[in-house]
């Protein structure tokens, strides 16, 4: 017995006696898990970068990149995008460093992909720490192929980096649970600070941590250590409020929070149940839940940690009126870990001759579980592959990808339209895209002049009719994505087009299939010049 193995035994001093997962020979497990990790990173990278820049930014990407460009003093954008808007700026400030070297939409997305790949590695480390190499590698593979994580980390969104820091927090907690050194709890607090510093909604994960610590008395957490951990979190988070106050924008975040608290729901309560399971993978959810049930006798603080990490945000965002596709992304690594755990343990158990399956037949063979794993992996990979194909729809769900024609329309504006020309769009989404690529100010007609009914990050058009009449707004942009969301404002905008002699100066179209399956070209963005 080597000293290292002896050491491993000492590290496992807090493990429950009955957990016996080491059935595969260590060398085989090492090779297998490394192969799985190789596939995970290879496939994960491929799915995240394949045709990554086929379409331009969507509205959220445009905003975050615009903020980063403003921090990096990119000419043409620094005066259009305010630095301080709704969210903290950790990711944007990192992106700004990239932009100082290479300013392009591709560079922004690559940074996001790097965060995604780093998350896969952290998941592996957590799985390895909690359940061994193979479950860790399988969990990493599931996350690498998971459409939910693939789609979001292909975009310049805060949720990908936030999920990375959240997963890193989870890793610190796992180390704390495993080694019971308070330092890891402090590190978890500091890491949680970075998570919140990336996107403030992740504060809800703090609830998950508290629930975990409350439900896991075996971890024996002292109040003093918990308070110190919270102190570290606040210390790391402090630059956000301090920088806002010092920069003289003290009301920015406050206004946004108030608006979020009192705005009307943007999706029905069934939203997450409809969009998240297919994105996470139905089989992943089934395996995770069945695994939790089947292996219930082995539940310890590890499962409490993962389940609390999932349930608390799920309940919170289900109750929270504002819903977004990517809001639940931080729970994806935990789901992958639970599924990877189940598959990994089953594979290990099947190789153990002492293990007797209740079914005694096919479930007693390792190959069965590998096939099961293969099925889950294939379903995820296939689904991701389908979802990363260039969009051919005239409708759009925020957070799911780029907007067809948006970049092209913006670049046309940047090259052909007078500097400082002002644009009116149906809603703020297209306005953001026009601003980023076109480098011209754009305002959404749908933004309410009533401050109680609008996102405080946006400026409304006060009396649009007068502004067009006085040539303060010279271009109007109709787009099918916004029109599908609000026919009222689409009609209103077209009313101005007709009233003020609108003339089409540019059109972006996509090819879609009609009901008979024939390809037809459909305009998705039309730019009008108005002549009052």
Partner 1 sequence: MIRRVFSATIIAFLLVGAPLFPAYAASSPADHQPTTPIQHLIVLMQENHSFDNYFGTYPGADGLDLNTQMPVDPNNPAAGYVTPWHIGNASITDISHSASTFRDQYNNGKMDGFVAALNTRNQDGKLAMGYYDDADLPYYWNLADNYVLFDRFFSSAKDGSSPNHMYWVAGQSPVPPKDVELAQVLADVPTIFDELQAAGISWKFYVQNYDPTITYRNLGVVGNRASQVIWVPLLNFDRFIDDPILSSHIVDLSQYYIDLQNDNLPAVSYIVPSGASEHPPSSLMSGQRFVKSVLQELMRSSAWDSSAFLLSYDDWGGWYDHVVPPQIDDFGYGPRVPAILVSPYAKTGYIDNTELDFTSILKFIEQNWNIAPLAQRDANANNFLSALDFSQEPRLPTFLPLTRITPPVAKNDPSSLIYMGYGAAVGVFVLTIGVTNFRFQRDKKRKLREMLEE
Pick one of 38, 227, 235, 466: the residue that binds partner 1 (CB under 8 A): 235
Regarding 420 and contact with partner 1 (CB under 8 A), the answer is: yes
Per this entry, what is the length of the chain?
A: 532
Of the candidates 149, 155, 160, 202, the one whose C-alpha atom is nearest the C-alpha of residue 59 is 155
Beta bridge partners, 443, equal 424
Cα–Cα distance measured from residue 443 to residue 473, given in angstroms and rounded to the nearest whole number:
9
Among 153, 173, 245, 166, smallest CA distance to 199 is for 166
Taking the alpha carbons at both ends of the chain, their separation in whole angstroms is 88
84, 309, 423, 437: which one binds partner 1 (CB under 8 A) = 84
Q: Which stretch binds partner 1 (CB under 8 A): 317-325, 348-356, 430-438, 464-472?
A: 464-472
Q: What mask, x for binding partner 1 by CB under 8 A, covers residues 20 to 59?
A: ----------------------------------------
Stretch that binds partner 1, among 51-59, 266-274, 415-423, 489-497 (CB under 8 A): 415-423
Told to check if 15 binds partner 1 by CB under 8 A, we report no
Q: Which is nearer to partner 1, 420 or 487 (CB)?
A: 420
Select from 141, 194, 275, 347 the one that contacts partner 1 (CB under 8 A). 194
Using the rule CB under 8 A, is 474 a contact of partner 1? yes
Q: Which of 44, 108, 136, 193 binds partner 1 (CB under 8 A)?
A: 193
- For residue 79, which of 315, 491, 345, 420 has the smallest C-alpha distance? 420
- Minimal distance in Å, beta carbon 67 to partner 1? 10
Q: Residue 402 and residue 57: Cα distance in Å, rounded?
A: 5
42-46-50 Cα angle (round to 5): 170
Q: Does 10 participate in binding partner 1 (rule CB under 8 A)? A: yes
Among 99, 124, 184, 412, binds partner 1 (CB under 8 A): 184
Closest residue by Cα to residue 388 from 55, 41, 40: 55
| Residue 238 engages partner 1 in binding (rule: CB under 8 A) | yes
- Residue 242 touches partner 1, criterion: CB under 8 A: yes
Helices 26-49 and 105-131, packing angle to 10 deg: 160
Nearer Cβ to partner 1, position 166 or 398? 166
| Cβ-based nearer residue to partner 1, 179 or 385 | 179
- Among 28, 181, 270, 498, the residue binding partner 1 under the rule CB under 8 A is 181
The Cβ of residue 90 has, within 10 Å, a number of other Cβ atoms equal to 23
Q: Choose, by CB under 8 A, the member of 51, 251, 471, 487 that binds partner 1.
A: 471
Output the smallest distance, CB 218 to partner 1, in A.
20
Nearest residue to 144 via CA among 42, 278, 32: 42
State in angstroms the smallest separation of the CB of 224 from partner 1. 16
Q: Which of residues 140-179 bind partner 1 (CB under 8 A)?
A: 172, 179
CA dist 303 and 448 (Å) reads 46
Query: Number of C-alpha atoms within 13 angstroms, CB side, residue 145?
Result: 28
Comparing CB distances to partner 1, the nearer of 55 and 191 is: 191
| Residue ranges in 243-262 that form contacts with partner 1 under rule CB under 8 A | 243, 246-248
Rounded (10°) angle between helices 271-280 and 282-294: 90
Interacting residues with partner 1 between 215 and 234 (CB under 8 A): 232
Residue 324: name the closest of 146, 110, 62, 60 by CA: 60
**504 near partner 1 (CB under 8 A):** no
CA distance 43 to 37: 10
Output phi, psi for 475, to 5 deg. Answer: -135, 140
71 binds partner 1, rule: CB under 8 A: yes
How many Cα atoms occupy the beta-carbon half-sphere of 274 within 13 Å? 9
Pairing relationship of beta strands 423-425 and 442-444 according to DSSP bridges: parallel
Is 6 near partner 1 (CB under 8 A)?
yes
CA distance 116 to 39: 15
93 binds partner 1 (CB under 8 A): yes
User: Least distance (Å) from partner 1 to the CB of residue 447?
Assistant: 20
Using CB under 8 A, list all residues that contact partner 1. 3, 6-7, 10, 71-73, 83-84, 89-90, 93, 96, 172, 179, 181, 183-184, 186-187, 189-191, 193-194, 197, 232, 235-240, 242-243, 246-248, 415, 417-422, 470-472, 474, 503, 529, 531
């Amino acid at each position: 017995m080597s000293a290292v193995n002896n050491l491993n035994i000492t590290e496992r001093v807090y493990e429950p006696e009955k957990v016996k997962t080491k059935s595969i020979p260590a060398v085989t497990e090492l090779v297998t898990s490394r192969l799985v990790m190789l596939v995970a990173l290879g496939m994960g990278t491929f799915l995240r970068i394949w045709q990554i820049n086929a379409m331009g930014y969507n509205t959220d990407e445009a905003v975050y990149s615009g903020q980063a460009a403003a921090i990096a003093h990119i000419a043409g954008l620094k005066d259009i995008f305010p630095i301080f808007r709704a969210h903290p700026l950790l990711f944007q400030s990192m992106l700004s460093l990239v932009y100082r070297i290479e300013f392009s939409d591709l560079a922004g997305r690559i940074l996001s992909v790097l965060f995604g790949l780093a998350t896969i590695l952290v998941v592996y480390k957590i799985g390895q720490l909690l359940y061994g190499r193979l479950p860790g590698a399988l969990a990493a593979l599931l996350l690498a192929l998971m459409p939910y994580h693939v789609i979001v980390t292909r975009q310049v969104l805060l949720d990908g980096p936030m999920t990375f820091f959240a997963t890193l927090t989870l890793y610190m907690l796992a180390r704390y649970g495993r080694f019971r050194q308070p330092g890891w709890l402090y590190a978890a607090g500091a890491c949680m600070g970075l998570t919140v510093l990336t996107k403030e909604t992740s504060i809800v994960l703090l609830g998950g941590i508290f629930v975990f610590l409350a439900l896991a008395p075996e971890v024996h957490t002292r109040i003093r250590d918990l308070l110190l951990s919270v102190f570290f979190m606040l210390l790391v988070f402090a630059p956000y409020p301090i920088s806002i106050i010092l920069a003289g924008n003290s009301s920015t975040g406050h206004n946004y929070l108030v608006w979020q608290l009192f705005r009307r729901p943007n999706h029905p309560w069934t939203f997450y149940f409809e969009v998240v399971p297919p994105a996470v993978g139905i089989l992943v959810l089934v395996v995770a839940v069945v695994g939790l049930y089947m292996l219930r006798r082995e539940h310890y603080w590890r499962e409490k940690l993962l389940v609390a990490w999932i349930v608390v945000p799920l309940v919170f965002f289900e109750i929270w009126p504002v819903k977004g596709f990517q809001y639940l992304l931080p729970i994806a690594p935990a789901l992958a870990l639970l599924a990877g755990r189940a598959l990994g343990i089953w594979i290990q158990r099947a190789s153990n001759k002492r293990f007797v399956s209740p079914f005694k037949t096919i479930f007693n063979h390792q190959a069965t579980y590998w096939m099961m794993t293969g099925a889950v992996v294939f379903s995820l990979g296939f689904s991701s592959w389908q979802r990363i194909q260039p969009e051919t729809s005239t409708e759009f769900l925020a957070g799911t990808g780029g907007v067809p024609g948006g970049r092209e329309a913006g670049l046309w504006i940047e090259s052909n339209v007078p500097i400082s020309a002002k644009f009116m769009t149906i809603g703020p989404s297209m306005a953001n895209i026009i601003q980023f690529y076109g480098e011209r100010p754009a305002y959404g007609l749908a933004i309410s002049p009533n401050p109680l009914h609008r996102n405080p990050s946006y400026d409304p058009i006060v009396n649009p009719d007068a502004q067009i009449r006085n040539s303060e707004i010279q271009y109007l942009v109709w787009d099918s994505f916004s029109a599908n969301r609000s026919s009222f404002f689409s009609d209103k905008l077209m009313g101005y087009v007709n009233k003020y002699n609108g003339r089409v100066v540019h059109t972006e179209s996509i090819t879609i299939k009609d009901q008979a399956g024939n390809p037809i070209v459909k305009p998705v963005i039309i730019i009008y010049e108005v002549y009052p």
